[in-house]
């Protein structure tokens, strides 16, 4: 029982980060009909910014850790928004709805940005001090408070996104554009601006995931790429463009990873995910919650 | 046929020239570079072959690896003779790709792209976790037999050139036209009674068989293979060759592979800057020269190079 609770906690904690990451990817796909292979670089950028800001503010200025983390978090989101804005305006703007073109562009960006990070930060992993120290015991399973807070924050962000997409006017235009771009434009929705918003929201979600992840794991310049394959599996399972699908898919993949990784080993768990995808493709090619293909 | 197609005649001459160079040149380094150029060209052309039906097949990298590992297992573990080990590679790659295609080609576009990406990474994971395949360090000791050793570079180049010409012939055949028709609008070939899914699988199998053979040649050329050689990045570079050369014609990827492979020889010493360079060149080619070098040539021929309006 204790073990299962521990594994379940683990699932929720990995899952919450997966969900944020996959939500960004699926949102960008929904609005722009492109697969962003450079999504991991947003994650990495945020995590790297958090480490450097905290190193500066805690060590040099001596700010309290929680306060400097807040500043670092905001800085990370800002930096990623700027990166997102630049790559949209000088790149993605030209390959909207062009699957092959956007693939190449995002791979080019992946190489360019990862190379730049490596030059700026070097290959040594960096860690930040614990923002909230201490442990907590839930049903016999021990958990650092930090990880609990991470889960809660990720859940709040996910909820916020869900409300944004389903309850606001911007969300309505995002969904309209995802559904049928031309019909949406006929209704007076400015497609390019909505695409930009969708892209920036997606990038910000990856940045949130990265900034949160920096608190619990050492940061390297390729940290975001590890999430990419799993995020792809998640959005295939959940259906491209589906918000709920990304949430369910993320939790499912985290469940397999956590339990499979414990009872067998991590690579068996990854293989199991792929087998799941194969079965799903045979039964339901458009994903659990995806729309039928046109 | 050759009289009406001087370009093809020129390509055959270049291939014969390259084989002669491999036979008579004294410098193994330059011979190696020529083999790399041909191998990369073959990778790019097989990637482009699946683009004929409109799908971007990252699993090109996976079948390249499957071919290489098949040859490695056949020659080092099973001890099969040289040519049989080499031929086992396309056979196994073809069989696995037919299964892969049967499952995945029900989807298309982004789903197929993502699935083929995940497949590539998973296959690589299997190599690293299989002790018999050498795990992370891979396999060593694939050597051509002693009596063939001197001729091996020429054999390798001949095989790779044959793949290029074979895929060109396939594209020019009626089958190739049907593939292009599927890309344009798959409902029309379906409406005249063609089995579209079956044809898509056939296209994938042809390309994967070819790239499996390239993998077999790679195993013998390098004598050492490791899982890290077969990441999705192989397909990304192949795509870069296709894009820079131009995907409108089969010589596009060949030109792209030649230029970037030669340029890559100078960039190896640049460390992280190498990736930045590749990234910049890929983005630049995509945004500034959308039709690739072949596209530039076509526009130049049409005399509209200066008068191009937007994309």
What's chain A's average pLDDT?
Answer: 87
Q: Which of B228, B243, B270, B279 to mutate to test the interface with A (most CBs of A within 10 A)?
A: B279
If you measure CA to CA, which chain A residue comes closest to B310? A94
B64 lies in which domain range? 6-231
CB within 8 Å: B279 and A115: yes
Asked whether the beta carbons of B47 and A100 are under 8 A apart, the reply is: no
Tell me if B57 is assigned to some domain: yes
> Can you tell me the mean pLDDT for A202-215?
94
Contact B122 A281 (CB under 8 A): no
Residue in chain A nearest B117 by alpha carbon: A229
pLDDT exceeds cutoff 70 at B303: no
Would you state the pLDDT for residue A10?
87
In Å, how far are A282, B63, B257, B259 from B12, measured between CA atoms? Answer: 44, 27, 17, 19
- Structural Rg of chain B based on CA atoms: 19
Contact list, B52 vs chain A (CB under 8 Å): none
Identify which of A15-29, A220-234, B246-260 has the greatest average pLDDT: A15-29
pLDDT of B62 > 90? The answer is: yes
Contact between residue A110 and residue A95 where contact means Cβ atoms under 8 Å apart: no
Read off the pLDDT band of B278 (50, 70, 90): confident
Q: Does A288 reside within a domain?
A: no
B109-123: average pLDDT: 87
pLDDT band at A289 (very low <50, low <70, confident <90, very high): low
Q: Which domain holds residue A144?
A: 2-223
Question: Is there a domain that residue A264 lies in?
Answer: no
Within 8 A by CB and 6+ apart from B228, the residues are: B136, B138
Question: pLDDT tens digits, residue range B280-298?
Answer: 888 888 888 877 788 787 7
Q: What is the mean pLDDT of residues A29-37?
A: 88
**Least-confidence region, from B27-31, B105-109, B299-303:** B299-303
Lowest-pLDDT choice from A205-209, A250-254, B205-209, B246-250: B246-250
Q: Is B276 on the interface with A (CB under 8 A)?
A: yes
Mean pLDDT of chain B: 87
Mean pLDDT score, B134-155: 85
- Out of A111, A240, A281, closest to residue B279 by CB: A111
Q: Convert the pLDDT of each residue in A115-136 to its tens digit.
A: 899 989 888 888 888 888 888 8
Looking at the predicted structure, is the pLDDT value of residue B121 above 80? yes
Confidence band (pLDDT; 50, 70, 90) for A290?
low
Residue A291: band (very low, low, confident or very high) from pLDDT cuts 50, 70, 90: low
Which one of B108, B117, B276 has the shortest CB-CB distance to A112?
B276
Chain segment B169-218, per-residue pLDDT in tens: 999 999 999 999 999 888 999 998 899 999 999 999 999 999 999 999 99
Residue B170 domain-assigned (yes or no): yes
Closest partner CB to A229 (pick from B111, B121, B279): B121
Select from A104, A21, A282 the least CA-distant residue to B244.
A104
Indicate yes or no: CB of B106 within 8 angstroms of CB of A282.
yes
Q: How many domains does chain A have?
A: 1
For the segment B270-285, the average pLDDT, to the nearest whole number, is 79
Q: Judge whether A266 is closer than 8 Å to chain B, CB to CB.
A: no
**Chain B residues in contact with A33 (beta carbon < 8 A):** 110
Residue to test with chain B: of A31, A96, A102, A111, most B Cβ within 10 A: A111
Q: Is 80 exceeded by the pLDDT of residue A285?
A: no
CB pairs under 8 A between A and B: 110
Residues of A in contact with B129 (CB under 8 A): 267
For the cut 60, the answer to whether the pLDDT of residue A294 exceeds it is: no
Q: Which of B110, B121, B280 sits opposite A99 (nearest CB)?
A: B110
Chain B residues near residue A29 by CB distance under 8 angstroms: 110
Q: A225-238 vs A2-32: helix axis angle to the nearest 10? A: 80
Query: Who among A90, A115, A229 is closest to B272 (CB)?
Result: A115
Which whole number is the average pLDDT over B265-279? 76
Scan for tokens 């030059």, then name that residue: A119
Long-range Cβ contact pairs of A3-8 (< 8 A, separation 24 or more): A5/A138, A5/A139, A5/A140, A5/A141, A6/A141, A6/A142, A7/A258, A7/A259, A7/A262, A8/A141, A8/A258
**In this predicted structure, what is the pLDDT of residue A286?**
66
Specify the pLDDT at position B273.
79
- Residue A196, SS3? helix
Between strands A135-138 and A141-144, the pairing is: antiparallel
Q: Is there a domain that residue A53 lies in?
A: yes
Return the pLDDT at A240. Answer: 81
Structural domain contains residue A145: yes
State the SS3 of A101-118: HHHHHHHHHHHHHHHHHH
pLDDT digits (tens, 9 = 90+) for A152-161: 999 999 999 9
CA distance B97 to A281: 16
| CB contacts, 8 Å: B107 with chain A | 281, 285-286, 293
Is residue A211 pLDDT above 80, yes or no? Answer: yes
Residue A252 belongs to some domain of the structure: no
The reply to whether A80 falls in a domain is yes
The average pLDDT across A36-63 equals 89
Comparing alpha-carbon positions, the chain B residue that sits nearest to A239 is B111
DSSP labels for B215-273?
HHHHHHHHSEE-GGGGSTHHHHHHHHHHHHH-SSSTHHHHHHHHHHHHHHHHHGGGTHH
Q: Determine the residue of chain A that is closest to B55 in CA distance.
A: A100
What tokens appear for B58 in the block? 């990252």
- Are A191 and A184 contacting, i.e. CB atoms less than 8 angstroms apart? yes
Position B310 pLDDT exceeds 50: no
Ranges of beta strands (E only) in B125-213 are 139-140
What pLDDT does B3 receive?
Answer: 64
User: What is the pLDDT confidence band of residue B308, given thresholds at 50, 70 and 90?
Assistant: very low
Q: Are B192 and B182 in contact (CB under 8 A)?
A: no
* Beta carbons of A119 and B114 less than 8 Å apart: no
B-chain residues near A114 (CB < 8 A): 275
Half-sphere CA count of B257, side-chain side, radius 13 A: 29
Residues 101-120 of chain A whose Cβ lies under 8 A from any Cβ of chain B: 101, 103-105, 107-116, 118-119
Higher pLDDT, B60 or A293: B60
Q: What is the mean pLDDT of residues A235-239?
A: 85
Q: What is the domain count for chain B? A: 1
Give the per-residue pLDDT at A272.
Answer: 86
Res A228: pLDDT: 85
Q: Flag whether residue B288 sits within 8 Å of chain A, measured between CB atoms.
A: no
Nearest to A80 by CA among A119, A120, A41, A28: A41
- A99–chain B Cβ distance below 8 A for any pair: yes
What residue in B sits closest to A265 (Cα-Cα)?
A: B129
B271: closest chain A residue by CA: A115
Question: Which of B227, B276, B295 has the most A C-beta neighbours within 10 Å, making it the best mutation to test the interface with A?
Answer: B276
C-alpha separations of B23 from B40, B218, B219 in Å: 20, 18, 20
Confidence of residue B7 (pLDDT cuts 50, 70, 90): confident
Assigned domain for B180 exists: yes
Cα A83 to chain centroid, rounded: 16
Residues on chain B touching A107 (C-beta within 8 angstroms): 236, 239, 279, 282
pLDDT band at B130 (very low <50, low <70, confident <90, very high): confident
């Amino acid at each position: 029982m204790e073990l299962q609770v521990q594994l379940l906690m683990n699932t929720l904690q990995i899952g919450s980060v997966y969900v944020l990451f996959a939500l960004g990817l699926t949102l960008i796909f929904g609005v722009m009909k492109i697969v962003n292979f450079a999504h991991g670089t947003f994650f990495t950028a945020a995590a790297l910014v958090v480490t450097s800001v905290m190193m500066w503010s805690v060590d040099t200025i001596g700010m309290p850790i929680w306060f400097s983390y807040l500043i670092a978090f905001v800085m990370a989101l800002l930096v990623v928004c700027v990166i997102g804005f630049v790559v949209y305006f000088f790149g993605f703007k030209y390959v909207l709805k062009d699957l092959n073109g956007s693939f190449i562009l995002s791979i080019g960006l992946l190489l360019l940005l990862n190379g730049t990070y490596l030059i700026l930060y070097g290959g040594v992993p960096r860690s930040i001090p614990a923002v909230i120290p201490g442990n907590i015991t839930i049903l016999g399973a021990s958990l650092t408070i930090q990880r609990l807070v991470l889960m809660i924050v990720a859940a709040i962000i996910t909820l916020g996104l869900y409300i944004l997409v389903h309850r606001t006017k911007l969300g309505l235009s995002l969904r309209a554009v995802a559904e049928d771009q031309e019909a949406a434009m006929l209704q007076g929705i400015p497609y390019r601006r909505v695409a930009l918003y969708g892209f920036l929201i997606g990038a910000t979600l990856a940045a949130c995931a990265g900034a949160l992840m920096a608190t619990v794991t050492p940061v390297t310049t390729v940290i975001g790429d590890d999430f990419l394959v799993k995020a792809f599996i998640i959005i295939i399972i959940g259906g491209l463009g589906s918000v709920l699908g990304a949430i369910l898919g993320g939790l499912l993949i985290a469940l397999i990873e956590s339990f499979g990784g414990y009872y067998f080993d991590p690579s068996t768990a990854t293989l199991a995910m792929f087998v799941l995808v194969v079965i799903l493709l045979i039964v339901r090619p458009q994903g659990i919650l995806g729309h039928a293909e046109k | 046929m050759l009289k009406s197609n001087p370009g093809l005649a020129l390509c055959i001459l270049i291939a014969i020239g390259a084989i002669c160079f491999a036979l008579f040149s004294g410098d193994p380094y330059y011979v190696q570079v020529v083999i790399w150029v041909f191998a990369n060209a073959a990778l790019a052309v097989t990637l482009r072959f699946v683009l004929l039906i409109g799908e971007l097949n990252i699993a090109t990298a996976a079948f390249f690896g499957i071919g290489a590992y098949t040859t490695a297992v056949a020659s080092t573990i099973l001890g099969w003779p040289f040519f049989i080990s080499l031929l086992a590679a396309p056979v196994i790659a073809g069989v696995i790709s037919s299964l892969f295609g049967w499952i995945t080609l029900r989807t298309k576009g982004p789903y197929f792209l993502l699935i083929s990406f995940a497949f590539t990474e998973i296959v690589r994971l299997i190599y690293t976790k299989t002790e018999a395949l050498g795990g992370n360090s891979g396999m060593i000791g694939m050597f051509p037999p002693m009596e063939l050793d001197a001729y091996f570079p020429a054999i390798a180049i001949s095989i790779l050139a044959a793949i290029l010409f074979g895929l060109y012939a396939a594209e020019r055949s009626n089958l190739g036209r049907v593939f292009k028709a599927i890309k344009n609008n798959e409902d029309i070939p379906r409406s005249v009674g063609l089995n579209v899914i079956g044809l898509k699988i056939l296209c994938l199998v042809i390309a994967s068989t070819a790239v499996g053979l390239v993998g077999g040649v790679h195993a013998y050329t390098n004598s050492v293979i490791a899982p890290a050689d077969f990441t999705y990045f192989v397909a990304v570079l192949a795509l870069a060759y296709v894009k820079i050369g131009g995907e409108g014609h089969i010589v596009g990827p060949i030109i792209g592979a030649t230029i970037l492979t030669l340029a890559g020889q100078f960039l190896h010493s640049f460390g992280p800057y190498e990736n930045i360079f590749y990234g910049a060149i890929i983005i630049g080619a995509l945004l500034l020269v959308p039709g690739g070098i072949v596209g530039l040539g076509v526009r130049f021929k049409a005399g509209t190079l200066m008068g191009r309006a937007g994309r």
